[in-house]
Chain A
Amino acid sequence: MSSVVGDGTSRTGRPVREAPWAEAVFPVALTALGVFTIVDATRIFVPGSANTLGPRAFPYAVGALLVAVGVVLVIGLARGHRGDAEDSEDVDSGVGTDWPTVAKLTGSFAALVVLIEPLGWPVAATVLFGGTAWSLGARPWWRPMLVGAVLAVVVHVVFTQMLGLFLPAGPLDGVRFFG
């Protein structure tokens, strides 16, 4: 008698630590953003009256804050103060970043941006929903597409007909219930 009992979940695994430089990207970007803010703020035109606070002062302050906090964070990182990734019900803290999935998801999103105006919301949203669900592992591919199509059409009709919001209908323009 043998038994194979696999758990399949790794809820107890210690969080995977990525290279320290990955974590430094954000603070460095903050510092860069701060420098940019200060530099760009010098190009803001200041009208007359000198004794009041002009349109540059606040951007300067924000830029300085960005630089300061970026530097503090980088120093902190160097000293080993690392951030803990946020907990979430659906996140497995024991695995590394799954870049292919993120890329597929980005592709689905890009498809929506490209398709929404020529082909309309129903088609574009179907592609977004189907593509995202597929990249996250829904199989076979036509199942999320079908669910997405139903959802996209229902949302389209409810939002354009009942709530009066604008959504492009694409080739369906002029068809009853689609706008």
Chain B
Amino acid sequence: MTIVVGYVPKPEGRAALRAALDEADRRAESLHVLNTSRGDALVDPSYASPQDLEDVRRLLEEAGVEFDLEHRVGGRDGAEEVVEAAEKQNASLIVIGLRRRSPTGKLIFGSNAQRILLDAPCPVLAVKAPAGEAAGHLH
């Protein structure tokens, strides 16, 4: 079985990655780390840079879990990608990070987390970034 984690290069994404690592350890399962972009904007802060991705890879390798890193431009929302990956991998768990969003933002763009919760084929673990974490390092 596999744990699917939706990674974004932001505090909540790093929190999700750490939580997913803990879970993978506990359950002795592999990790499928997913970072995608709809790719329709010139700049997408959720899309990891090659360097950031390298950091993620190093962290995963140091942790010694079996992992898979999926990083691509897909033309679809993050929520859809995560749910689809979970279905494809027959995942036992989805791990996502939560962030605050204004009510208007929710109205227009919806909440990725909510969509994942509703559509997920498996249990979902949602974590928040620890309070006061600077947008900084993984370690």
Contact = CB atoms under 8 A, between A and B. Distances in A.
Interface of A: 1-9, 89-90, 136-139, 143, 146-147
B78 to A, nearest CB: 13
B40 interface: yes
Interface residues of B, number: 20
Nearest to A90: B42
A5 B72 contact: yes
B interface majority secondary structure: mixed
B108 A89 contact: no
Nearest to A89: B42
B73 A8 contact: yes
A72 to B, nearest CB: 38
A6 B108 contact: no
Nearest to A143: B108
Given A4-B71, A90-B42, A139-B77, 12 more contacts: A1-B68, A3-B67, A4-B68, A4-B70, A5-B53, A5-B71, A6-B71, A6-B72, A7-B72, A8-B37, A137-B75, A143-B108
Contacts of A136: 40
Contacts of B122: none
B113 to A, nearest CB: 17
Interface in B44-97: 53, 57, 66-77
